[in-house]
């Protein structure tokens, strides 16, 4: 069984790694550090060992592993969808203010003190907000990922995927419906820009 840290190169990932350095992890055969494609191949020093950053394509989802998620990006969504459909949901963005642990019934329980990051720029109340803006809700992402079978709809690529608005958001396209969202690889998404194809 492996311990897999998702988002290992981010701020939260760095804090989790510091905490884990002091823990007994002998029951794990390997510690894997997972991050986005841009971090692949970089090194992290963990307990005097050099660990190479990998991507979600390097995870064997047929094995039983323990995952610690430190990412709020599409990387985490992609991994959770591969673990078990429907268990990931967007609950907002948070600051990690502090962490601690306590022993309860001979088990060490880690606690993370999080503060919700609220959008101070909007004068509208959350109850009046009808659209998430450019943000695509997790339920829509899940539906699109399943429908497009985790592949770019243009070329079938399975890595470095982007959720793309078919009718661009800047031209009035909705983020709330899967009919306006598709999976594209980075190459096809970046070549599309805000042109309607």
pLDDT, tens digit, 9 for 90 and up, residues 123-178: 343 433 444 567 888 788 888 988 999 899 999 998 888 889 999 888 888 888 99
State the CATH number of the domain containing residue 99: 3.40.50.720
Q: Does residue 197 sit within a domain?
A: no
Edge-to-edge order in the sheet of strand 2-6: 30-34, 2-6, 66-69
Range of the domain at 167: 131-192
Same domain, 14 and 105: yes
Same domain, 43 and 138: no
Q: Does residue 62 sit within a domain?
A: yes
Mean pLDDT within 31-57: 89
Pick the last residue of a domain from 93, 116, 139: 116
Give the least confident one: 35-39, 88-92, 158-162: 88-92
Same domain, 25 and 74: yes
CA 178 → CA 10, 53, 69, 129, distances in Å? 29, 32, 25, 19
Give the number of domains in the chain: 2
Task: State how far the Cα of 51 lies from the Cα of 42, in Å rounded to an integer.
Answer: 8
Same domain, 156 and 79: no
Task: State how far the Cα of 85 lies from the Cα of 92, in Å rounded to an integer.
Answer: 20
Q: Does residue 65 sit within a domain?
A: yes
Task: State how far the Cα of 184 lies from the Cα of 137, in Å rounded to an integer.
Answer: 17
Please indicate, yes or no, whether the overall pTM of this predicted structure exceeds 0.75. no
Same domain, 18 and 107: yes
Same domain, 145 and 109: no
Query: Which residue's structure tokens are 């690889």?
Result: 185
Task: State how far the Cα of 131 lies from the Cα of 4, in Å rounded to an integer.
Answer: 34
Pick the last residue of a domain from 116, 141, 163: 116
Same domain, 69 and 106: yes
Q: Which residues contact 172 (CB under 8 A, 6 or more apart)?
A: none
Same domain, 84 and 145: no
Same domain, 71 and 139: no
Asked if 192 and 164 touch (Cβ cutoff 8 Å), the reply is yes
Q: Does residue 122 sit within a domain?
A: no
Q: Which of 113, 116, 131 is nearest to 174 (CA)?
A: 131
Q: Does residue 125 sit within a domain?
A: no
Same domain, 97 and 182: no
Same domain, 103 and 33: yes
Q: Which residues contact 185 (CB under 8 A, 6 or more apart)?
A: 152, 154, 155, 157, 159, 160, 161, 162
- pLDDT of 35: 87
Instruction: Find the Cα–Cα–Cα–Cα dihedral 77, 78, 82, 83, rounded to 10°.
Output: -40
Pick the last residue of a domain from 116, 140, 166: 116
Q: Does residue 121 sit within a domain?
A: no
Q: Does residue 69 sit within a domain?
A: yes
Task: State how far the Cα of 168 lies from the Cα of 172, in Å rounded to an integer.
Answer: 7
Q: Does residue 124 sit within a domain?
A: no
- pLDDT of 87: 42
């Amino acid at each position: 069984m492996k311990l897999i840290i998702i988002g290992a190169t981010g701020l939260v990932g760095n804090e989790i790694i510091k905490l884990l350095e002091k823990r007994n992890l002998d029951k794990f055969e390997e510690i894997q550090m997972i991050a986005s494609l841009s971090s692949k191949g970089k090194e992290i020093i963990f307990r005097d060992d050099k660990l190479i950053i990998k991507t979600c394509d390097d995870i064997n989802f047929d094995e039983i592993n323990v995952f610690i998620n430190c990412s709020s990006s599409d990387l985490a969504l992609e991994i959770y969808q591969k673990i078990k459909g429907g268990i990931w949901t967007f609950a907002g963005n948070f600051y990690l203010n502090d962490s601690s642990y306590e022993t309860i019934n001979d088990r060490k329980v880690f606690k993370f003190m999080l503060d919700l990051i609220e959008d101070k720029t909007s004068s509208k109340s959350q109850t009046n907000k009808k659209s998430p803006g450019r943000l695509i809700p997790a339920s829509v992402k899940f539906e699109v990922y399943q429908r497009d079978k985790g592949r770019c709809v243009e070329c079938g690529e399975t890595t470095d995927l982007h959720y793309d608005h078919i009718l661009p958001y800047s031209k009035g396209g909705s983020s709330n419906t899967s009919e306006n969202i598709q999976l594209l690889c980075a190459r096809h998404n970046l070549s599309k820009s805000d042109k309607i194809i």
